[in-house]
Amino acid sequence: MNVQVKNCEIDDELHTHIEERLDHLERLGTLSDDAQLRLMCERGRFAAEMTLQSGGLLMRGEERATTLRGAIDGALEKLESQLNRYRKKVLARDRRHDNRDDVAGEMLKATVLSAENTNGYSDMAHDEGVNVMRVKRFALKPMSAEEAALQMGLLGHEFFVFRDAETNQTSVVYRRGNGGYGLIEPVAD
């Protein structure tokens, strides 16, 4: 596990607590390939951002609290909730798939969204007078729009950029105001 700390300190007791909570997640069935934890203190409030890459999934939990332990626990609870939601979706999809004739769709499988530097970002960047607060860089792995929507839901984001497995084009899936999903696909000029 990679831990980054900004404006706060973690002692051995808190580090042990983090390890125990991660072990609990692993007992739920998620063996983490990579775990990153960012801890920050700003204006008297603590923030914890936890990212797990595990078994083809990228999950992220973020929480702010008045105590560092509270922020960490909140972020890990969000990860556990995401994992449980994903497992329920997979079980339901498996049941639907088993009851279908061979005519219809394919079963979705999560694709690893990995990157040389998945969470590589700098906190501040300046681009021709525009103050960019965070820059993230990651590799775009091919996947279907359905897989991208699932990944977006697991991350808790409003949009997700991915490479379409059929067209090999960069596309964006986003959450619409009515609760549905939208897809942005590029076209040639």
- Read off the pLDDT band of 125 (50, 70, 90): very low
Query: Residue 26's pLDDT is what?
Result: 73
| Average pLDDT score over residue span 88-104 | 55
What average pLDDT score do residues 91-114 get?
Answer: 44
**Residue 42 is encoded by which pair of tokens?**
């700003």
Q: pLDDT value at position 115?
A: 33
Distance CA 90, CA 108 (A): 8
d(CA 74, CA 79): 9
Q: Which amino acid is at 160?
A: F
- Would you call 177 helix, strand, or coil by DSSP? coil
Q: Poorest-confidence range of 65-74, 99-108, 157-166, 167-176?
A: 99-108
Q: What is the pLDDT of residues 130-142, one digit of tens each?
A: 677 777 777 788 8
41 pLDDT above the threshold of 80 = yes
Instruction: Label residue 151 by pLDDT band (50, 70, 90).
Output: confident
Looking at the predicted structure, is the pLDDT value of residue 128 above 60?
A: no
Q: For residue 149, name the pLDDT band (cuts at 50, 70, 90).
A: confident
Q: What's the one-letter identity of residue 104?
A: A
Asked if 37 contacts 68 with a C-beta cutoff of 8 angstroms, the reply is: no
**Tokens read off for 138:** 């990651």
Question: What pLDDT score was predicted for residue 60?
Answer: 86
Q: How far is CA 67 from the centre of its chain?
A: 23
| Alpha-helix runs per DSSP H in the chain | 12-27, 68-99, 145-155
Tell me the mean pLDDT in the region 139-149. 86
Domains, the chain: 2-99 (3.30.160.100), 120-184 (3.30.505.50)
What six digits make up the tokens of 73? 């626990």
